[in-house]
Amino acid sequence: MELISRMMDGSIPYDPEGRLEPVLSGPGAKQEDKIERLKEVALFEACSQRQLRSVARIARVFDVAAGTLLTRAGEPGDEFFLIIDGTARAEVSAQKHVLLHPGEFFGEMSLLDGGPRSATVVADTPLRLLVISRRHFAGLLKDVPGLTETLLVTLSRRVRQAEDRAERLRG
């Protein structure tokens, strides 16, 4: 099971090496602080205060160290990730690595189709991530205006890139 899943379901309270730490979401964290951070994320710019409050209720924020494995290709996955700070690396194949930057997201594919992770994703730098579990994903789509459309555009772009790449490999 992915490390973040185990953090999210409470089966490990924290990473033994201290590499993964929930922030802004512990008992002392103020909901208002989280909402202020959400306002800085472009994906949420069309959200009303009420919608931001809903997102803040279902989202958890994690800080992870560079090198942390976030998804592993071929394994099941139960979280959607949005990058707040830092860079992640999606290892789509041995030859193709894609850098993902603040405001970009990953992990949507397994939540949408229920299939295994399509790529391994690793923290390329220290990362601050917003993490939404599968059971809250539908709520997120409902609460964030335009998110479904953004997901579709992103998926279309990834399919085109994959097809271009396959074409180039065929020669």
Residues found near ligand CMP in the complex (CB under 6 A)? 71, 77, 90, 92, 98, 106-110, 117-119, 121, 158, 161
CB of 77 to ligand CMP, least distance (A): 5
- Order of strands, sheet of 127-133, starting from the edge strand that comes earlier in the sequence: 20-23, 60-64, 127-133, 79-85, 105-106
Nearest CB to ligand CMP, comparing residues 90 and 147 = 90
Tokens of 104: 């970009």
Nearest CB to ligand CMP, comparing residues 29 and 76 = 76
Nearest CB to ligand CMP, comparing residues 60 and 89 = 89
CB of 137 to ligand CMP, least distance (A): 11
Measured between its terminal Cα atoms, the distance across the chain in Å is 38
Nearest CB to ligand CMP, comparing residues 121 and 131 = 121
Is-contact 38 90, C-beta < 8 A? no
SS (HEC) of 2-16: CHHHHHHCCCCCCCC
CB of 96 to ligand CMP, least distance (A): 7
